[in-house]
Structure 1
Amino acid sequence: MKNICINATMRTVVSLFGTILTLASCGDIYDLNGFDWEAETPLSDSVFNREIRVLNYGDNLPSGHSPLDDMDPMLFSLEKFSSVNLNYKTTERWDISFSGIFRSSIGVNNGKSQGIGYGSSAMGGIAVLDTPYSKLMHVPENINFSSPGDIGLDAQGTLSYKTGHAVYTFGGNFVRPDKVSGYDESDPKAVQEANLYRHMIYCLSEDLIASFPNAKNLQGKPLRPRTIVIKTARGNFVKLETQSVYKGVKDPLLMRRGYTVPIYTFRYMAIKADEQRFGFVTRRPALAVNMSTNTVSVQKN
């Protein structure tokens, strides 16, 4: 899988903050023997203690590539906020993987666990907490990291026991029941409109809960936001919130069928292993990394 090539805008931001992004060759990749291996770049401290917002991750993938199973995922470096070529799967260059459409599975890079990164020196772990992203201010002492992980759909939408980062509505829509009420009507236009909101996937973000404060899950209980905590391949920590799986749409009020999936939008903050506190000192302004336009921009708030 190809990584995104850095453009002039991204070069400016990288120069400004001293962040060096690891990016794969822009040349075509036909097989492993033809892969243009690149030397690893050193990690910059500028990634830590700032919010990083990744927009449309999964866009601009090579033709024919879709993250349909665990052995063909999208790989991402949280410490260098960049896509990582699948040929680097047994290195420390990536931290999290995204795979599946309706499973919406997220895993981590751990060389000791059987999985996509097995055999490397990576020490990643993952856990999902029943805590809003903005309220999680430190790494819990008793956190139970798993690896390589399989953080996917939440029990709030599947009647299962698992805690996940997103819910699936099946043939209805318990988040927006008003939008599917016309599905059984004889009016073709009403049915067409209802079909736009059936079989939806909603990330359990703070924005979702704020947009639909009265939404209830399949058990009839209010939806709750989730936050993913990750130990990176190098042993640092990240808190992460997924916000959308629909290309170009972050606002839950605008989400519907018809947008390209799975194209992830998420936000996160990285801290060093010995710091343990998220946002204790937010030293730098937020960055927005747009994978559709291959640009990085500094955010004002």
Structure 2
Amino acid sequence: MTERAASRTAVLVCQGRAVADGRMGVGRFSDPVAVELLVDGERELVDLVRAGAVPKGFGARMEYELLSATSEVLAARTVAIDDAVRESAHPQLVILGAGLDARAWRMPELAGVAVFEVDHPASQAEKRDRLGEREALADVRFVPVDFGRDSLGAALTTAGHDETRPTTWIWEGVVPYLTPAEVAETVTEVAKRSATGSRLVITYPTPNRVYHYGRKAMEVLLSVSGRTNPMAGEPQRSSWTPAAMAALLAEHGFSVTADRDLQSVAVEAGIEGKRTSVRADGHIVIADRR
């Protein structure tokens, strides 16, 4: 996650949820707020993908296919995370690298929950502009953190996070852009503030050479066609086997409750799509502090 206002990755994720809303996993997935967080120029492609109107131009087709694939992954990922949040029902929720996440505005289960949205100050400022006067369902606390300079723990303390009470932590779509050392450092900080019973939910990619080169090819094609590459400046720096992820979490006092690939989540939730291999390579791990 790069440190700039409303990164293209954050916008792409929001667009993906907007595409999936009301179309994928109906009854399991829903994010009607996502489209409201998009601005003019970001909604047009969403409308095309929702309508199945495949553009003819090469560059436009690349953008279409990227967003279509993203929507399939995001629908499954969101279902699994939302289920984990509902199940834990903790009084505190921390979203690391919140981006344009809309859970605090769309999940009635979060009414009365203290939701701490951690992100770069510039990204948060733009998100708040996009939200306008929309009222949150939860007690939202914006926690500005420049991860290169600021202490996550100190920022959370200032925002009112109580490390003696159970917390659910969401770390979605960030791990691929961090080195293994940076991932371990964040897990260490989370563990320090996790009371017994706390839950950590992480999405992560498993090693896959085909996906790696496929992503590189997509980036090149977008560049050649003169289109904006939403992945520019955010290279994949780490991938994990389930065993390696479980070992890291165990080292910090978390026991894995479930680790599933997103394809199995999608099948269970009735989310159809063509990108089964991409979803199979993405995992979500749920770990609890004993």
Q: Under a length normalisation based on structure 2, what TM-score does the superposition of the two structures give?
A: 0.27
Q: Which has the higher helix share?
A: 2
Q: Under a length normalisation based on structure 1, what TM-score does the superposition of the two structures give?
A: 0.27
Q: Which has the higher strand share?
A: 1
